[in-house]
Chain A
Amino acid sequence: MSDYNFAYLDEQTKRMIRRAILKGLAIPGYQVPFASREMPMPYGWGTGGVQVSAAVLTPDDTFKVIDQGADDTTNAVSIRRFFQKTAGVAVTEATSQASVIQTRHRIPEEDLRADQILVYQVPIPEPLRFLEPSEVETRKMHALEEYGLMHVKLYEDISQHGDIATAYAYPVKVEGRYVMDPSPIPKFDNPKLEMAGIQLFGAGREQRIYAIPPYTQVVSLDFDDYPFQPTKADHACDLCGAQDSYLDELIVDDEGGRMFMCSDTDYCATRRKQGHVGAQGVPYAEDAA
């Protein structure tokens, strides 16, 4: 423990990252370049998110990590352990208990509060990248608000699939100015981007940080005749019976049997503790035994 500075990164690096975060908060949706450090994990495992978390964590924080909504995947567990070891902070799986939540691919179902920070891991921060390979050009497009290209992508979706088939990393416009990639969250989560908590986005390999301050307007791009729709599987959770949560589909046997369950494990478990039971679920106490 004493071998590491608090939260692994040295103080100078954390200051540098905090400056990038503050700038990001000051210009909602704008991608701030930062000097991303080598982290003791490979790119793609959340190095951007980890650096942002390291910069915002204080010894009093309670830390939660989710990966695709779950607290118990390898990725989530190893990042949580990393900060337990290098920062000694308290950890939790309960969304409401956490002060800093690092996430990959989801926003918790439970509404976040003003005293909470949500840190996203971002693989490719540039929403225009797939159509315009030049960084010089995409930066210019952001600077001049030339966002026609973003709609070209949605146009291509409709012309090829009959509908906007983009189901995750669905582009948004922040506070009427910057078009932003919300990281690969399902578009079901897009409406939740307008929240009370602070949202920070870190892309380690691409060396970008961006942010959405509390209560910022975030609009999902669409066409007048093909309005944005936050979709989810048309089902209720088979474990807790929730109608309103984002679901994972699980194949359970070789006969095509399947079940749907909340991707947010904490949300599901909390509901089951409260006595909610889904179609294939069993009461919580029994399960625990």
Chain B
Amino acid sequence: MTPLLQVENIAKFYGPRIGCTDVSFDLYPGEVMGIVGESGSGKSTLLNCLAGHLTPDRGVVRFDTRSEGLRDTITMSEPERRMLGRTDWAFVHQHARDGLRMNVSAGGNVGERLMAVNARHYGEIRAEAIDWLGRVEITEDRIDDRPTAFSGGMQQRLQIARNLVTGPRLVFMDEPTGGLDVSVQARLLDLLRGLVREMNLSAIIVTHDLAVVRLLADRLMVMKDGHVIETGLTDQVLDDPQHAYTQLLVSSVLQV
């Protein structure tokens, strides 16, 4: 089987400071990988390098494109990369307002990616938007409301619908449950889990919440000071951590 994403020796420096370095892994179709670490550990830098928002200083990121197989997304042209960004890739921001158009209705937000790939039938675009709002548990009567009228949890679900409407194969998520109430988090996690399975999505989830990765991620990568210090099966890394930092991280979580 061809990996969906192949990452080799990615490094990004901010001047003399390390953003992230020596990161390599393969992600296969349907796999969900979590990246955990404290603030400043380089996990968001890595995610942005993978998603094409930052250009890494070295390394290779290959994506299994539909038409031409594995392609280096760092050296491909910007139009190609942006095309991936609105078709096969999705990016869920921590703050929904970074990923939504706040002055456009919920339906318009969901429809934008369809229109970006040349959907030109209003009725079909709207039907698709209604279907997707339903999948993320937003009722049809909210379709013409703007996200500013939505709660934080609804905004986040809208962002997910907007991202998944074009049937992407790889989803990047940056703290998708950050800043939400725990009850809202649970609902979102459940939703994401269902969508990942239904659509056979691959996902890379950056978070500092170990409970989130336990529920969502098959595999886990622990980062500290820009380096990957431990990887493995999620429950194995959490239940039998090998590295001192991971042990500290796991033992620091408050039990409820």
- Tell whether any CB of A sits under 8 Å from a CB of B in the complex: yes
Which chain A residue lies CB-closest to B144?
A159
Query: Is B103 engaged at the interface, CB distance under 8 Å to the other chain?
Result: yes
Query: Are B115 and A225 touching (Cβ within 8 A)?
Result: no
Which among A64-72, A114-122, A147-155 touches the partner chain?
A147-155
Query: Are A223 and B122 touching (Cβ within 8 A)?
Result: yes
Query: Is A131 engaged at the interface, CB distance under 8 Å to the other chain?
Result: yes
Query: Are B112 and A148 touching (Cβ within 8 A)?
Result: yes
Given A155-B107, A159-B107, A226-B122: A144 in contact with B115 (beta carbons within 8 A)? no
Which chain A residue lies CB-closest to B121?
A224
Q: Give chain B nearest CB distance to A232 CB in angstroms.
A: 23
Query: Is A12 engaged at the interface, CB distance under 8 Å to the other chain?
Result: no
Query: Is A158 engaged at the interface, CB distance under 8 Å to the other chain?
Result: yes
Query: Are B112 and A149 touching (Cβ within 8 A)?
Result: yes
Partner among B113, B120, B144 whose Cβ is within 8 Å of the Cβ of A224: B120
Given A144-B78, A159-B105: A152 in contact with B115 (beta carbons within 8 A)? yes
Query: Are B122 and A144 touching (Cβ within 8 A)?
Result: no
Q: Give chain B nearest CB distance to A145 CB in angstroms.
A: 8
Query: Are B103 and A148 touching (Cβ within 8 A)?
Result: no
Q: Which residues of A contact B126 (CB under 8 A)?
A: 155, 159
Query: Is A74 engaged at the interface, CB distance under 8 Å to the other chain?
Result: no
Which chain B residue lies CB-closest to A148?
B116
Q: Which residues of B contact A222 (CB under 8 A)?
A: 120
Which chain A residue lies CB-closest to B103?
A131
Given A155-B107, A156-B104: A148 in contact with B115 (beta carbons within 8 A)? yes
Query: Is A2 engaged at the interface, CB distance under 8 Å to the other chain?
Result: no
Q: Which residues of A contact B79 (CB under 8 A)?
A: 144
In the bound complex, CA of A34 to CA of B122 (Å): 38
A-contact 0/1 string along B100-116, CB 8 Å cutoff = 01011101100111111
Q: Give chain A nearest CB distance to B134 CB in angstroms.
A: 17
B-contact 0/1 string along A213-241, CB 8 Å cutoff = 00000000011111000000000000000
Partner among B105, B117, B120 whose Cβ is within 8 Å of the Cβ of A223: B120
B-contact 0/1 string along A143-186, CB 8 Å cutoff = 01010110110011011100000000000000000000000000
Given A149-B112, A160-B144: A155 in contact with B122 (beta carbons within 8 A)? yes
Q: Which residues of A contact B107 (CB under 8 A)?
A: 155, 159
Query: Are A159 and B117 touching (Cβ within 8 A)?
Result: no
In the bound complex, CA of A159 to CA of B104 (Å): 11
Query: Are B120 and A155 touching (Cβ within 8 A)?
Result: no
B87-141 contacts to A, CB under 8 A, are 101, 103-105, 107-108, 111-118, 120-123, 125-126
Query: Is B243 engaged at the interface, CB distance under 8 Å to the other chain?
Result: no
Size of A's binding interface in residues, CB under 8 A: 17
Partner among A131, A146, A158 whose Cβ is within 8 Å of the Cβ of B101: A131
Given A131-B103, A146-B116: A152 in contact with B121 (beta carbons within 8 A)? no
Which chain B residue lies CB-closest to A132?
B101
Q: Which residues of A contact B117 (CB under 8 A)?
A: 148
Query: Is B197 engaged at the interface, CB distance under 8 Å to the other chain?
Result: no
Given A131-B104, A156-B104: A148 in contact with B113 (beta carbons within 8 A)? yes
Q: Which residues of B contact A159 (CB under 8 A)?
A: 105, 107-108, 126, 143-144
Q: Give chain A nearest CB distance to B100 CB in angstroms.
A: 12
Query: Are A155 and B111 touching (Cβ within 8 A)?
Result: yes
Query: Are A152 and B108 touching (Cβ within 8 A)?
Result: yes
Q: Which residues of B contact A155 (CB under 8 A)?
A: 107-108, 111, 115, 122, 125-126
Q: Which residues of A contact B103 (CB under 8 A)?
A: 131
Query: Is B58 engaged at the interface, CB distance under 8 Å to the other chain?
Result: no
Query: Is B53 engaged at the interface, CB distance under 8 Å to the other chain?
Result: no
Q: Which residues of B contact A224 (CB under 8 A)?
A: 120-122
Q: Give chain B nearest CB distance to A263 CB in angstroms.
A: 30
Q: Which residues of A contact B116 (CB under 8 A)?
A: 146, 148-149
Q: Give chain A nearest CB distance to B165 CB in angstroms.
A: 12
Which chain A residue lies CB-closest to B125?
A155
A-contact 0/1 string along B54-87, CB 8 Å cutoff = 0000000000000000000000001100100010
Query: Are A225 and B123 touching (Cβ within 8 A)?
Result: yes
In the bound complex, CA of A223 to CA of B120 (Å): 5
Which chain B residue lies CB-closest to A145?
B79
Q: Give chain A nearest CB distance to B9 CB in angstroms.
A: 29
In the bound complex, CA of A158 to CA of B125 (Å): 12
The 6 closest A-B pairs by CB, nearest first: A148-B116, A148-B115, A151-B115, A223-B122, A224-B121, A144-B79
25 A-B contacts, Cβ less than 8 Å apart?
A: A131-B101, A131-B103, A144-B78, A146-B86, A148-B113, A148-B116, A148-B117, A151-B115, A152-B101, A152-B108, A152-B111, A152-B115, A155-B107, A155-B108, A155-B122, A155-B125, A155-B126, A156-B104, A160-B105, A160-B144, A222-B120, A223-B121, A223-B122, A224-B120, A225-B121
